[in-house]
Amino acid sequence: MTNVGSSLVYAIIASILQVALVALGGPLLMGLMAKVRARAEGRVGAPIHQPLRDLRKLMGKEGLRAHHSSAVLAVVPLVVLGSTTLAVAISPLVTTHPLLSASADLFVIVYLLLTGSVAMALAGLDTGTAFGGMGSSRAITIGALAEPALLVAVIALSIQARTSNLPAIVADTITHPVWTSTPTRLLALVALVIVVIAETGRLPVDNPNTHLELTMIHEAMTLEYAGSDLGLVTLGAAMRLGLLFALLMNLFVPWGVATGSSILWLLGAVVFLVLKTSLLAVVVSLIEVHSAKLRLFRVPELLAGGFVLAVLAVITQLAAR
Amino acid sequence: MSTLRYRKGSIFRSLVSRARTERAVSMPDVIPGTRLRGSLQLRHVDAGSCNGCEVEIASAFAPTYDAAQFGARLVASPRHADGVLVTGVVTRNMAGALVRTLDALPRPAVVVACGDCAVSGGIFRDAYGVAGALDSFVDVDVRIPGCPPHPEAITQALRSLSGR
Amino acid sequence: MVLFLAGLGCCVLGLVAAMVFSVERRVVVASLSGSLGCLLTFVAASHVLISGHVSSFHSSLVLPLSGVSLTLDPLGALFVAMTSFVGVATLVYYVGYAKNELRSRTALSLLLLFLIALLTVPAASSVVTLMFSWELMALSSMLLIMVEQRRHAEARVAAQWYGAMTQLGAVSILLGLLLLSLKSGQTFADIRAHVAAMSPTLRSFAFVLTLIGFASKAGAVPFHVWLPKAHPEAPSPVSALMSSAMVAMGAYGIVRVGNDLLGGGALWWWIIVVALGVVSALFGALHAVTSVDLKRLLAYSTIDILGLVLIGVGCSGALAATGHPGDAHLALIGALLLVVAHASFKGCLFLGAGAVERATGSRSLDQLGGLIRRIPITTALFGIGALSIVAVPAFSGFSSEWLLLQGLLHGFVDKSSPTLIVLLVGVVALALTGGLTAVAFVKAIGIGFLGQARSTGAASAHEVPRAMQIGMGILCIPCVVLGVAPGLVIPLVSRAANAGTANVASRSLESGIGLTLDHVRGAIEPMLLLAGFLLFVALISGVKSLLRRPARKVGAWRGGGGQPTARMQYTATSYAEPLQRVFSDVLRPEIDVEVTHAVESHYYEQSLSYEIRVDDAVERLAYQPVIRTLTRVGLAARRLQNGSVHRYLAFGFIALLIVLVVLA
C-alpha cells in the first residue's frame, strides 16, 4: 500500500516537473533557436529568455474579440494548451513512470497533438477573415500530410518494441542499446525530424518570422488573437515544440531518462534532457539558417519523402526478423 | 503608455478640420518602460511615407544596430503589438487604415511617430492629399525626429520603450 | 426472443397506425410505437449480448414453403442493438422533421417497414429469411429515397442507381448463398454443419459471390457509386438509418458468411477484403475532403469508415488464416467497435445535416456559415459527432481506431510475408485516412458553422424543433460513452466477435473502465485522460481569469481595410484546394476556364469564368462506358421491334425451328 502510494506521489512529482520544465523550456528553446539564427546572421539577437518576457507581458494585456466570432475563439487557446499540457504530463520526458504512464500510448500523444491542430484550424475559420481561412487551410493540409508519416514512423518503433506504449519503448531502448543503431530507427528518425519540422512550423515548411500574410501558415491563424489569449496560444506552440523535441531525443537517445524512482535521478534526468533538446534546437536552427522556405506546393513532396522513409523503416523492421 | 486618446471624435471631423495642436515632444523617460520589461512588439504603419524612414527602420533591425537585442520586434498584426510605429505624414488614403489599426491594438498601447513627417507633417504638411500629422489623430507618446531619422535614434527610442 | 418478436410486433403496429390515424396524429403515434418496438428489441439484443444466451424462433406460418427462422446470437444481437438504438433516435427526430410528403401514409409505413427489415436482417438464420428481409430493406429504402421526388428530381436518378446496384448485389449474394446450401438445408445451422465437407473451390466461389454483394452494400469501391447519390438525396432520417445501420449490414454479411458460416477461409479471400477496404478508405476520405455538399461529404466519409472496417475484418481473417486467433480476435473487435461507433456518430451527423438543411434551406457548405450563433444546440450536437469521427481522444472514434490499430500492430508477429504485406498496407491506409478525415470535418464545421453567413438562409436560420434535437442528442450519448468508458461495451463486442470466429480467441481484453490488452503491453484510460485534460483546462482558465482584463469587442482585422464581408471568407472549395491539388492524380478534377476578351483589345478580359468539378472518377471511367454500351445495345435491339406482326410471327417461327433442331 505504501509502495503504491509512494509511486503515485513520485509520478505526480515527475509529471509536475515535466510540465514545469516544458512550460519554461519550450519558450527557452524558441529563444535559443532565435539566438543561434541571429548569431549565424551576424547579429547579437534577443536574449534567450526573450520569449518568456514576451509571454509575461502578453498575459497582462487585454484580449480582443472580433465581431462575428463565437465561443470557439475563446475556448481554442484553452484546448490547445490543455491538450499539449496533458501530452507533456504523461510522456516519458524525464522519467519512464509519469502519471498515467499506462495510457501514454504513442497514438494517444499523436491524437492529442492532432486535437490541438484541429482546434487551431477551427479558430482560424471562426472570425471569417480571408487570412484566417488561408492559414487554417494550409496548416490543416500540411498536418494531414504529416500525420501519415508520423503514424507510420511511430508504428515502426512500436513493431520493434512490440508495444505502442511510449514509456515502455523508451525503457526498452535503454535496455537494448543496439536498437538505436538499427536501420529502422535511423530511417524513422529522419522521417520524424521532417514531421517535427512541419508540425512545429519551422523552415523550410513555415517561416515563424514572416510578416507577410500571404506567406504565413501558423501565424495567419493567430492573427486575431491578442493579449492573454495570444499568450496561451504562443505558449501552447512553444510547449508543443518542447514536447516534440524532447520525445524525438528520448526515442533515439534515451539515456539519462530516469527508469528508477529516486528524486536525484529525476533531477539528473532534467539536466540530460535540457542538454539533449538544446543540442537538437541548435542543429535544427542551423538547418533553418541554411535553407529557404519551400514553395507551399513543394512541401507535400518533402512530407511524402518522410512518409516513404517511415514505410521503409517498417519494412526493414519486418525484414530484419 | 496609457489608453489611446483620439484627438477628434470621428475620423471625418478630423479629416475636415485638420486642426493640430502642437505639443511638446514627449520625453522617452515619461514612458514607463518597466511595464513592457524588455518586450516591445510594434506594428509598423506606413501612413504616407517616402520610404526613407522604412530604409532606416530596416537598418535599425539589421546587424549593425540590431534593435532585436533590446527586445524590440515588428509584428504582423496590431493584435500582437504593444503599439504602432508610424512613418510618414497621414494621407487621406491611409487615414482610415491608421485609425482601424489603432482600434485593433490591445490596450495599453504606445504610439511612436518615426520621422519628421509623422512628427509634424514635414515637407508634405500642406500638400493636397494630406489629412494631417499623426498627432492630429492620436496622442503621440514617442517622437523620433529626423528626415530620415538615424537608425541609432530609432534604436534609442525603442530602447527607451522596452527599458533595456 | 419473445421480447424481440414483441418489438417487431410494435413496429408492425406502428405501421398499421400510420395507415389508420389522421395526418395530425399519424406521425406521433407511429413514431412512439416504432420507438417502443426498437426499445424492446434493444433490450432483447442487450440481454443476448450480456448473457451470451442464444435464442431462436421458427415459424412456418409467415413465409410459405420455407418459413421464417430467426436467431439472436451475440454477433446478430450486436447489430440488432445498434440498429434499434439508431432507430429510436431517428424516429424521435422524425416527429420534428416530418413535413409535407414525409407525413404521408406511404412515407411513414415505408420507414417502419425499412426499420423492421433492418432489425430482421442480422437476426435471420436461414437463407430465405435473410434474402427476404434483405430485399425488403433494399426496396423500402429505395422507395424512401423517392418520397420527395416531386421536389427533388435528382432523387429519381439516385434511386435508379441505388436500385440497380442493390439488385445486382442481391443477385450475387443469393447465388453465393444458394451455392452454400446446395448440399445442405437452407438454415444457417445446416450450412455450418455441412461446410467442412464442401470443396474449397465451391466455398471460395460462394465467398467471392457474397462478398461482391455485401461489399456493394458496404459502399466498397468500386461498388460504391450508388452511395454518394442515394445518401444525400434521401430525407435525412432515412440517410441516417441507411448510413449507420444499412451500410453496416454489408460488414455484418461479410463477417457472418466468411467467419461464421464458412468458419474462416483461405488467406487470399481476406487479401481481397483488405484491398477493397484500403481502396475505399482512401477514395472515400479524399472525396470527403473535396465535397461541398454537406450530406455528400458525410456519404463519402461513410465509404471511408466502412473501408477501415473492411481493413479490420480482412486483417482479422488473414491473421486467423495464418494461425493467430488472438490477434485476429483483437482486430475483429476493433472493426466491430468501429461499426458501432460509426453508427452513432454518422447517425448523429446525418441528423445534424438534416437539421441544418431544415434551418437554412441549403446543404451546400458554400451557402452556410455563422450557424454557431444562430443554431447553437444543433452545432454542438453536430460538433460532438464530428469530434468522434476525427478520433479526438475520449470520443468513440478514438477508442475503436486505437483498438483496430493495436490489432494490426500486434499482428506483425506473423512470419509469413503475405500477411505482413496485408497488415502493412492496412496500417498505412489507416494512417493516411486519419489526417484526411480531420480535414474533411474541420472543413464541415469551420466553413459550415463558423465565420459569417454566406446566404440569407444561413443568416436567418432558426433552431430546429425540440424533437429533432433530442433525436441527435440520443445518438451523441454513445459517442461520448464509447469514448470515455469503452470498457463497458468491449466485453459485449468481444462476445460478438467470438461468435464470429470459429475458434475461440485466446487473447482477451481486460475491461475496467479503460482498455487493457492481455499478453501485450497496451492500454488506454480515456476517462483519466479526460479528467487530466479538464483539470489542466480548469487550471489554465483559472490562472487566466486571475490575470485577464475583460476582452473588448472589435472589428475583425483585415490588414487595415474595412469590415470583411462574407464573400471574402474561404469557401469549402478553396479550403480543400491545396489537398485537391496534391491529390489531383487520384481525384482528376475537371477544370473549365472561359475567358471572354474585350472587343477593343485582346489584352483585356471582359469576363472570366472558372469552374471546377470533382466527379467520381470510378463512375466516369468504369460505369459510364458500360451504361453507354448498354444503351447502345438497347437502342439497337429496338430495331427488332418495329410493330409489324409479320416480323413477330417470323421470330416465333425461327425460335420454334431452333428449338426443334436442338431437341432433335
Grid look-up 487493457 returns C516
| DSSP 8-state assignment for residue B109 | B
Mutation choice for C interface testing from A55, A109, A114, A317 by most C CBs within 10 A: A114
Domain contains B70: yes
Grid look-up 496609457 returns B2
Q: Do C555 and B104 touch (CB under 8 A)?
A: yes
What CA–CA distance (Å, rounded) separates C618 from C442? 26
pLDDT of residue C304: 95
Distance from CA of B152 to the nearest CA of C (A): 29
pLDDT of residue B10: 43
Q: Do B79 and A225 touch (CB under 8 A)?
A: yes
Distance from CA of B37 to the nearest CA of C (A): 17
- B53 vs C: CB within 8 A: no
Residues 6 or more apart whose Cβ sits within 8 Å of residue A283:
none
Chain C nearest-CA residue for A165: C522
pLDDT of residue B26: 33
Contacts with B, A 61-100, CB within 8 Å: 61-64
pLDDT of residue B18: 34
Is residue A261 classed as helix, strand or coil in its secondary structure? coil
Q: In what order do the strands lie in the sheet with B72-74?
A: B72-74, B40-48, B83-88, B110-114, B142-144
Which residues of chain A are within 8 Å of residue B66 when distances are taken between CB atoms?
38, 43-45
Domain contains B118: yes
What CA–CA distance (Å, rounded) separates C352 from C342? 15
Q: In the predicted model, is pLDDT for residue C510 greater than 70?
A: no
Of C523, C495, C528, C529, give the one whose Cα is nearest residue C510: C523
Distance from CA of C361 to the nearest CA of A (A): 21
pLDDT of residue B137: 85
- Is C159 within 8 Å of C146 (Cβ atoms)? yes
Q: Which chains touch A (3 or more CB pairs under 8 A)?
A: B, C
Angle at C186 between CA C181 and CA C188, to 5 degrees: 95
Structural Rg of chain C based on CA atoms: 26
Which residues of chain A are within 8 Å of residue C435 when distances are taken between CB atoms?
114, 143-148
What CA–CA distance (Å, rounded) separates C221 from C498? 28
What CA–CA distance (Å, rounded) separates C659 from C655? 6
Count of the separate structural domains present in chain B: 1
pLDDT of residue C173: 95
What CA–CA distance (Å, rounded) separates B31 from B35? 9
Q: Do A162 and C521 touch (CB under 8 A)?
A: yes
Query: And the C-alpha cell for C638?
Result: 429496338
Chain B nearest-CA residue for C555: B104
- B106 vs A: CB within 8 A: yes
Contacts with A, B 2-31, CB within 8 Å: none
Is residue A146 classed as helix, strand or coil in its secondary structure? helix
Provide the total of helices (H) and of strands (E) in chain B, helices listed first: 5, 7
- Using CA atoms, how far residue C267 sits from C417, C422, C586, in Å, is 12, 10, 29
Helix or strand (DSSP H, E) at B144: strand B142-144
How confident is the model over C484-495, as a mean pLDDT?
86
What CA–CA distance (Å, rounded) separates C635 from C633? 5
What CA–CA distance (Å, rounded) separates A26 from C415? 43
pLDDT in tens, C351-386: 999 999 999 999 999 999 889 999 999 999 999 999
Q: In the predicted model, is pLDDT for residue C513 greater than 90?
A: no
Q: Do C555 and B78 touch (CB under 8 A)?
A: no
pLDDT of residue C501: 54
Q: What pairs with residue C612 in β-bridges?
A: C591
pLDDT band, residue C587 (cuts 50/70/90): confident
User: C82 or A9: whose pLDDT is higher?
Assistant: C82
pLDDT in tens, C36-67: 999 999 999 999 998 888 888 888 877 777 88
Q: How many CB atoms lie within 10 A of CB A1?
A: 5
What CA–CA distance (Å, rounded) separates C568 from C551? 25
Residues 6 or more apart whose Cβ sits within 8 Å of residue C366:
C292, C447, C454, C571, C572, C573
Least confident of C113-127, C262-276, C495-509: C495-509
Angle at C565 between CA C232 and CA C297, to 5 degrees: 15
Query: And the C-alpha cell for C307?
Result: 473501408
Q: In the predicted model, is pLDDT for residue C417 greater than 80?
A: no
- Using CA atoms, how far residue C575 sits from A116, A303, C290, C441, in Å, is 19, 20, 9, 12
Q: How many CB atoms lie within 10 A of CB C546?
A: 8
Q: Which domain, by its residues, includes B110?
A: 35-162
What CA–CA distance (Å, rounded) separates A117 from A138? 12
Residue C557 has its nearest CB partner, among B45, B98, B104, at B104
ipTM of the complex: 0.94
pLDDT of residue A153: 92
Least confident of C277-291, C471-485, C538-552, C588-602: C538-552
Of C375, C379, C363, give the one whose Cα is nearest residue C292: C363
Q: Do A162 and C520 touch (CB under 8 A)?
A: yes
Which residues of chain A are within 8 Å of residue C581 when distances are taken between CB atoms?
297
What CA–CA distance (Å, rounded) separates A44 from B164? 14
Chain B nearest-CA residue for C557: B104
How confident is the model over B60-70, as a mean pLDDT?
91
Of B8, B148, B162, give the one whose Cα is nearest residue B87: B148
Q: How many CB atoms lie within 10 A of CB C143?
A: 17
Is residue B50 classed as helix, strand or coil in its secondary structure? coil
Least confident of A151-155, C327-331, C641-645, C660-664: C641-645
Structural Rg of chain A based on CA atoms: 19
Q: Do B76 and A216 touch (CB under 8 A)?
A: yes
The pTM is what? 0.92
Tell how strand C552-554 and strand A64-66 pair up: parallel
Which letter, b or e, does each residue of C493-519 get, where b requires 16 or more Cβ atoms within 10 Å of its Cβ?
bbbbbbbbbbeebebbbebeebbbbee
Grid look-up 486505437 returns C402
Domain contains B81: yes
- Is C303 within 8 Å of C284 (Cβ atoms)? yes
| CATH code of B98's domain | 3.40.50.12280
Contacts with B, A 35-54, CB within 8 Å: 38, 41-47, 50, 53-54
Domain contains B117: yes
Q: What pairs with residue B74 in β-bridges?
A: B42
pLDDT of residue B19: 32
Query: And the C-alpha cell for C161?
Result: 442507381
Residue ranges, chain A, pLDDT below 50:
1
Domain contains B53: yes
Residue B106 has its nearest CB partner, among A53, A213, A227, at A227
Of C413, C408, C402, give the one whose Cα is nearest residue C428: C408
Contacts with A, C 636-655, CB within 8 Å: none
Is residue C361 classed as helix, strand or coil in its secondary structure? coil
Q: What pairs with residue A165 in β-bridges?
A: A105
What CA–CA distance (Å, rounded) separates B105 from B101? 7
What CA–CA distance (Å, rounded) separates A129 from C568? 7
What CA–CA distance (Å, rounded) separates A133 from A141? 12
What CA–CA distance (Å, rounded) separates C277 from C308? 6
Domain contains B57: yes
pLDDT of residue C518: 67
Of C150, C161, C134, give the one whose Cα is nearest residue C102: C150
- Report the percent of chain C where pLDDT is more than 90: 51
Q: State the burial class of residue C655 (Cβ atoms within 10 Å of its Cβ: 0-12, 13-18, 19+).
A: exposed
Average pLDDT, chain C: 89
Which residues of chain A are within 8 Å of residue C301 when distances are taken between CB atoms?
none
Contacts with C, B 67-126, CB within 8 Å: 77-79, 96-98, 100-101, 103-104, 106-107
Domain contains B23: no
Amino acid identity for residue A21 in this structure: L
Distance from CA of B145 to the nearest CA of A (A): 26
Contacts with A, C 431-460, CB within 8 Å: 431-432, 434-436, 438-439, 442, 445-447, 450-452
- A178 vs B: CB within 8 A: no
Domain contains B25: no
Which residues of chain A are within 8 Å of residue B77 when distances are taken between CB atoms?
222-224
pLDDT band, residue C284 (cuts 50/70/90): very high
- C550 vs B: CB within 8 A: no
Which residues of chain B are within 8 Å of residue C561 when distances are taken between CB atoms?
97, 100
How confident is the model over C625-647, as a mean pLDDT?
88
